[in-house]
Amino acid sequence: MTEPPDPMLLDVIKRLREMCLELPEAYEEDAWVGVRWRIRPRTIAHVRMVQRDLDPQPTAYALLPDHTEPLCVMTFRSPSPEYEALLASGYPFFRPDWGEDVVGMVFDDDTDWDEVRELLTESYCRLAPKRLAARIDRPGE
């Protein structure tokens, strides 16, 4: 018997779904664990729960802050120099153990959802075909 999904994860998925599916041709699918949103074969964002003692890929999340409780995390792509700035800012951001431009983020009660929308938009524009990315209104442009 599997455990019911974490309520925080369900809330995060609902919020991310609304944001990601507004992006041209973006779609949602179940990942090997958690849920991801994609543009063509590229993953814009992936969200899942991570529990250090139960995680099947603990090294991928080794740079998460120390924790014993399950954490709801998202990975996404970020362009330089924003990538460096996010990682330098520390929690809730961390560097997963793969990809040059992959950032991890921990969701908690203090999550800034406007910032999440901007991060998702940047991840999408980094991965989408240029003609699709050109259709996006991006902050600061």
Q: How confident is the model over 32-71, as pLDDT tens digits? A: 889 999 999 999 999 998 876 655 555 566 666 666 688 8
The second-level CATH assignment, the architecture, of 7-133 is Alpha-Beta Complex (3.90)
- CB of 64 closer than 8 Å to CB of 94: yes
Amino acid at 24: P
- Predicted local confidence at residue 1, as pLDDT: 40
- Predicted local confidence at residue 43, as pLDDT: 97
DSSP letters of 5-53?
Answer: PPHHHHHHHHHHHHHHTTSTTEEEEE-SSSEEEEETTEEEEEEEEE-TT
Domain ranges of the chain: 7-133
Q: Which residues pair with 76 in a beta bridge?
A: 45, 103
Q: Is the pLDDT of residue 10 over 70?
A: yes
pTM of the complete model: 0.88
